[in-house]
Chains A and B, each alone.
Chain A
Amino acid sequence: MREEVFRLEQVSIPPFLHDIHLHLYRGEIVALIGLNALGIDELLEIFQKNIALHYGHVYCKNVLVNDYLGCNHSLNPVTIIERNSMLIESMSVEDNLFILRKRSKQHLLHSKMLSRQMQALLEPLSLFIEPRTLVKDISSFEKLVIQFLKASLAHSALVILRDISTFVSEVDLARLKPILTHLSKEKGMTFLFVCNHHQEAFHFASRCYLMREGRIIKHLYNDQMTDAIINCYANEFAESIELSDRQQQYGQQNTSDSLLQLHHLVYGNINNLDLVVHHKETVVLLDSENLVIHQLFDLLGKRNLAYEGTIEYRGKKICPSSRSIALVPPKPDSSLIFPQLSVLDNLLFTSDHKISNLWFNIHHRSALAGELEQKFGTHLAEKDPRDFDQAYRLRIVYQRLLLQKPEFICVVQPFASVDMYQRMELISYFDLFKQRGSSILILAVSLSDSLQIADRLVILKDGRVHHQLHRSEFSQYHGFAGSIPVQSKE
């Protein structure tokens, strides 16, 4: 008989969640794929905390902990692991594991014993970390594993892994599978793998729940976890992205003059990197070890200078403040939105080179606001961007880029932590950039549908180009790619 860890029965919180039935057993890995983002946050909050429900019952370890008749706001033994690590960077791994936990009752620290305990925990996972190493000095993958151990020590009934492919590289994701299997089978830990891509989910999980508009729309058992079934639920994506005419604009091999050139670049983990991005070309740079992209983005933005080598834009040194260059960091819906500005000002503030006296001429701005009303609603000059959801804020960022019309755009992980409908919208924006002649460089840890907008895939290893594939060869890529262009499948 299987031991139940969590059970949700007919849980409803309108308008976010409707009739959620879900059960998780001890020692299993279950995936939750959100076709759209509605209700995911609320569902995870229900796991963590006994909040007020409109209707339904929540059981943890077979005990009723929450129902619609009353809630006590108490916490359930659940750990959520996401991009922002719960570890304290300035403390050692050992301290994070043993000292910073609820049930730690030791007054005198026995360092040697703690070190031994830590090594005993890490050994079965084939991982070795010096106990006194500071958390800031270990890799994202190691941080992830330490968080698993921390959850295990805290006797968490459930560990929720949220969008881990956005901060753990593909190589590390492959290393993660035996670790998760060990922890679930040997230690009886239960994992809920929350993500947007079924390939990742299918790789790790033995069951899978599909969710859309706050409802569980399908419970997939192992025998049903196939691409064919998922495609029936994501047919909008297939019709508008995979099968439409937009595919024809990609794939022409461009060997004309280069726009951006990296020559023998050396900095941090970047080791003699050479790369050329041509005019009107979209290149995806896959950093499957998650070592390089943030350093490269810093070099492109001139926040740091390379030890050796050069970055040339149109044959000259790159000038990131130029309006012909746009650099989009990760999570632009928060990092590129200025809360003190209205929605209209957020949309227009990089368009001043296109329209003279933009900031002094109220008529120009109101004329532009009129044109943008269809997409963003009325009274844009009075709206605060913080009042809107992630999809709206992303739309602001990409519409701003469209108005700016840069020649070169560098984007870090554009499809990270966005649902299927947002990905469709982002792809249509990238199609527009392409049609307007922009060159695009996408820096990615995981591909996550990036190949749909790519002419070329460049794979990095040990800080340099390992190999590259053109659009017609994308089917040769065997990692988690999300959706692959149709012509390369043929």
Chain B
Amino acid sequence: MARHNRYLEMRVLFLALCLTVLILTSLLLALLYRQDRITSPVFIILVVVATIGTGIATYYRIYLPYTRTKHIMQLFASGYTFNAIVDDKVPLNKEMVDLNTTLKALLNTDQIMNASKRQAQFLALQNQINPHFLYNTLEGIRSEALLAGLNSVATMTEALSTFFRYTISNVENLVSLKQELENTKNYFFIQQFRFGNRIKLHIIFDGEQEHEVLQYRIPKLTLQPIVENCIVHGLECKVGEGNLFIRIEISESRLFITVRDDGVGMQENVLQQMQRKLSTRSFDYVKRDEYQGGIALVNVNNRIKLLFGEQYGLTVTSRIGVGTDVAISLPRSKGEDPLS
């Protein structure tokens, strides 16, 4: 009974039964009172108490759980949450629980399918451009450049080689912040060959022990896509010098990373669209063939939410003439990959 009492459907049926019994008993008592077979009107108080009790039980056992379930369904429909619908404490009925479980399985299948798709794309890329062949060739170019006294070409080739190695070779989900920052610096270094001293990277550890912070683990390729976005959409179009700041701060449970540029900033409508995509969850972006701006941010956001939960992720603020801020909220962890 207790197990069935978990479902709203059973609670409603039980309440209907109670109400029927209450009405019939009241009618019977009223009839007996009218025929003077009951002399005291105390039964009226009993009926009133029973009615109030039923009302209170209805409110706490049916109305409140129903509104909560309804709210979760609305949030699910608008893309805010996926997990809450499965973890609903008072589901409508058993069939609804089965449906939600299937839905969760389907979502996971979809997710695995997309991940596999991406993995296949990576593999294809790896097959087409054999990494060892690529590294060897780049090392060859570097040696030739050094022999010819072209130090800048040698340094650039080394940076490119390291960047490719990091991006393609490693297969784990989480890497240390140090590794991710090294890769980002490497990427920025390559970009600096194009932009020269026009763009500058500043990494700020906000009052924290740098050595300790660098050991925290974050999803691989979290920072580089955001930095790339900042350069391509923010700093490239800016007249004059552009700065990119990566600020890292930690609390007892969170690792906050803010990537900020002082570039041209986003138009209000583009920003709103981006915020909408980041606050709700959808995998539509992987289905689209055509290029749309900000896919990298949505991809990073979804990966973080899939790995750690829906309370983590990205937020974007921007203003024309001021620049764009991307704030990343992650759990503070030195531990294992949650998916492994």
Contact = CB atoms under 8 A, between A and B. Distances in A.
A325 to B, nearest CB: 45
A1 B84 contact: no
Contacts of B68: 69-70
B333 interface: no
A10 B279 contact: yes
B327 interface: yes
A23 interface: yes
A63 to B, nearest CB: 10
A385 B39 CA distance: 57
A61 to B, nearest CB: 9
The residue in A55, A217, A218 that gathers the most chain B C-beta atoms within 10 A of its C-beta is A55
A25 interface: yes
A233 B311 contact: no
Interface string B275-315: 10001000000000000000000000000000000010101
Interface stretch (B1-9, B190-198, B219-227, B251-259): B251-259
Interface residues of B, number: 31
A2 B254 contact: no
A21 interface: yes
A128 interface: no
Interface string A1-12: 111100101101
B317 A219 contact: yes
The residue in A2, A57, A62 that gathers the most chain B C-beta atoms within 10 A of its C-beta is A2
A232 interface: yes
Interface in B306-340: 311, 313, 315, 317, 319-322, 325, 327, 329
Interface in B244-281: 247, 249-254, 256, 258, 275, 279
Interface residues of A, number: 27
Given A21-B329, A217-B317, A218-B322, A69 B254 contact: no
Interface in A127-161: none
Contacts of A69: 68, 72, 84
A62 B252 CA distance: 8
B30 interface: no
Interface string B193-229: 0000000000000011000000000000000000000
A9 B275 contact: no
A4 B75 contact: no
B72 A2 contact: no
Interface of A: 1-4, 7, 9-10, 12, 19, 21, 23, 25, 54-55, 57, 62, 68-70, 216-219, 221, 229, 232-233
18 contacts: A1-B250, A1-B251, A2-B249, A4-B251, A4-B253, A4-B254, A19-B315, A25-B251, A55-B75, A68-B81, A69-B68, A216-B317, A217-B317, A217-B319, A218-B319, A218-B322, A219-B325, A232-B319
Interface of B: 68, 71-72, 75, 80-81, 84, 207-208, 247, 249-254, 256, 258, 275, 279, 311, 313, 315, 317, 319-322, 325, 327, 329
